[in-house]
Amino acid sequence: MKLFRALVVSLSAAVFAVGVVFAAENAAPKAKPEGNPGKCCVKAESAGKTCDHKCCVEANAAGKNCEKCGGANPAKKA
């Protein structure tokens, strides 16, 4: 019975540790993309929020500014 209890405690501790690691990884702030953000993103940022337009969310996930909303990305260097 003691062995079973020790295994349950060890397994629970391991699951908790993995959960903490994943939570810290997801909570890490992402760097802002270089260039100029779109007007909607600037407006949302000034209100303390993030822009929720679908095109802006997809562009930010790719590490870019949304060009559809007026944002500009730096030119790629050759």
pLDDT digits (tens, 9 = 90+) for 42-51: 999 899 888 8
Q: What is the DSSP letter of 33?
A: P
Cβ-proximal residues to 61 (8 Å cutoff; 6+ apart), any chain = none
pLDDT at 35: 84
Q: Which amino acid is at 20?
A: V
- Rounded to two decimals, the pTM is 0.54
pLDDT at 18: 87
pLDDT digits (tens, 9 = 90+) for 13-66: 999 988 888 776 665 556 677 888 889 989 998 998 888 899 998 988 888 888
Distance CA 15, CA 10 (A): 9
